[in-house]
Structure 1
């Protein structure tokens, strides 16, 4: 009886694993008319499509596919041509299933595309120059030293003056830029002794046109150690400087409520793949669902 029960449990586990691994890759990002051959016919692939080991992938000219292996490891395919899915899987090697958690999160957000855009109301941030940063009640904590801050330039054109101050209103640093974003290294001497930094952006040509004050808050040592432990679980699989790896990291940071780090990772992904619109769309959706950007009114 015990032997039969053991065999049943073993078979059940194998069945569950077979269901859980009924694909080799999932499509996380797609640009162009790329196709998948499953059986005898070719079909246009979409974000979320599953690719099995026996399938074949055809990448069009000037196209791009970001895939996530069943192990969780991401891979980019940029060169036009036909690829056997089994051969792509061999290039991936071993990964960590922990990555799946963050890849699934990105896929879920992708599948809900447009839901935020169809909101019937709007969240107005009430600033002349809205910064895409969390307000104080949205946990503006930061894990990494290097971050990218960006803002809405629709109403106020550049150049801009970015000011950093302490909580006591002491000026720490001032930077100028003609762009709609700026990269900041919080490890610089200007910020070394500050755990809470206030930042504003104003028009260089009209100092009365200024953003609200936003706070950049360092994580406590205990929280930083906790996040580092979690990040170490996936860092080996995401260390290559690719857009899809940055996307996975954005999912990691967002799930751990590190919105500024997530925003930075999204922007890094866009810079690495500037011609792939999906990365820009995903970043925009991220801003909206986290109330870092106004929700547009429903015009229907």
Structure 2
């Protein structure tokens, strides 16, 4: 009898634990506005049950993660039944992988108080500073000095390092991007007024290249003799391998072409070491939902911990110089 009773207790606990593990349909990853679910305020990290009814206000936004790993974005004022949202989803086989990276988003956003007190809230990585770059130049590239890329396109960014160039960045009107092969034979160059540029390996000049060098220089005629330019950087297309194939397959599984989908992709790309492409995914998320502050917060946190912004690079340099002066 004692053994039977213990078995029944264990069975009840197992059933109860299973029920508790499945007692919600969606988890809230991103939120904007005073939206409610069954009269309760919806916040990042909130769990929505099948019986809940969501009321969206005008201008509101919700990014939801279903327990099967699929995402839903709500942007329109109105009333939504959670069970109907769930029933409209198709079966998915990427639940655990998507949930893993989505949970990073929740962890990041629900710990704002720690960041306000100066603590790092990105628990799964910490401040890595993993991006390696060469010596700072008058034109400093934000991306790492050698990039291995998965796709065909890569956005590069730069800034005028005023302390090195000894000029105000507002004085620069145009930049020239120069691409060469590894023997320094020029492939092509282009001039832009922007401080970013997308290198596309599908261009005729680059189709036969597996790796290229590039640099950015000031194109203003009145500054040519000042030699304002960056060092040479390397972009290399990854060779196909089982490991890279798996990364590409997982990348295809964990996100769709929505702001939330790109955000989850960004988390995955960062952890797998593709920082430049992670930055592109963050930017894609912000472009698709420019009104949602969440995406900008996460992008700024990404650039800070990986030293991938003008502010982060200059701050790091000042900290290093201060440390050297104190020694």
**TM bucket by the smaller chain?**
0.7 to 0.9
User: Relative to structure 1, is the Cα distance of residues 53 and 200 closer, same or farther in structure 2, using a 3 angstrom cutoff?
Assistant: same
Is 1:285 the counterpart of 2:301? The answer is yes
Is the aligned partner of 1:106 residue 2:76?
no
CA distance in 2, matches of 1:230, 1:42: 39
| 1:129 and 2:144 correspond | no
Is 1:229 the counterpart of 2:246 in the alignment? yes
Deviation of 1:133 (Å): 0.9
Query: For residue 30 of structure 1, what is the aligned residue in structure 2?
Result: 31
Residue aligning to 1:260: 276
CA RMSD of aligned residues (A): 3.4
For residues 197-234 of structure 1, give each alpha carbon's deviation from its aligned partner in whole angstroms, at most 9, with x where no partner exists.
22222232235332343322222321xx4233344346
Instruction: Name the CA distance, whole Å, in 2 between partners of 1:3 and 1:144.
Output: 59
Instruction: Give SS of 1:115's match.
Output: helix
Is the 1:116–1:289 Cα contact (8 Å) retained in structure 2?
A: no
- 1:132, 1:287 within 8 Å by CA — same for their partners in 2? no
Structure 2, unmatched stretches of 5+, are 121-126, 162-167, 319-327
With structure 2 as the length reference, what TM-score do the two structures score? 0.74
Q: Do the aligned residues in 2 keep the contact of 1:130 with 1:152 (CA within 8 Å)? A: yes
Taking the TM superposition and a 5 Å limit, the aligned residue runs for 1:185-200 are: 185-200=200-215
Q: 1:168 & 1:238 partners in 2: Cα distance?
A: 39
Q: CA deviation at 1:237?
A: 6.0
CA distance in 2, matches of 1:30, 1:87: 20
Among 278, 286, 295, the alignment partner of 1:270 is: 286
Report the 3-state secondary structure (helix = DSSP H, G, I; strand = E; otherwise coil) of the residue aligned with 2:208. Answer: coil
**Which residue pairs with 2:234 in the alignment?**
215
Distance 1:173 1:17 in 2: 60
The aligned counterpart of 2:40 is 42
Q: Which has the higher contact order (CA 8 A, sep 6+)?
A: 1
Q: Deviations over 1:212-262 (max 9, x none)?
A: 43322222321xx423334434625634x2211111211221121111221
Structure 2 partner of 1:54: 51
Residues 116 and 285 in structure 1, CA contact (< 8 A), matched pair in contact too: no
Cα deviation, residue 76, structure 1: 0.8
Distance in 1 between residues matched to 2:153 and 2:4, nearest whole Å: 58
Q: Describe the shift of the 1:237–1:93 C-alpha distance in structure 2 as closer, same or farther (beyond 3 A).
A: farther
Structure 1: where are the runs of 5+ without partners? none
1:141-199 alpha-carbon deviations (Å, 9 max, x no partner): 11011222233479534432222223322222212222232222223232233333222
Q: Where do residues 69-218 of structure 1 align in structure 2 (5 Å cutoff)?
A: 69-95=66-92, 96-97=94-95, 98-113=97-112, 115=115, 118=118, 126-136=136-146, 140-152=147-159, 156-157=169-170, 158-205=173-220, 206-207=223-224, 208-218=227-237
- Shift in CA distance, 93/246, structure 1 to aligned 2, threshold 3 Å: same
Cα distance change of structure 1 residues 21 and 230 upon mapping to structure 2, 3 Å threshold:
farther
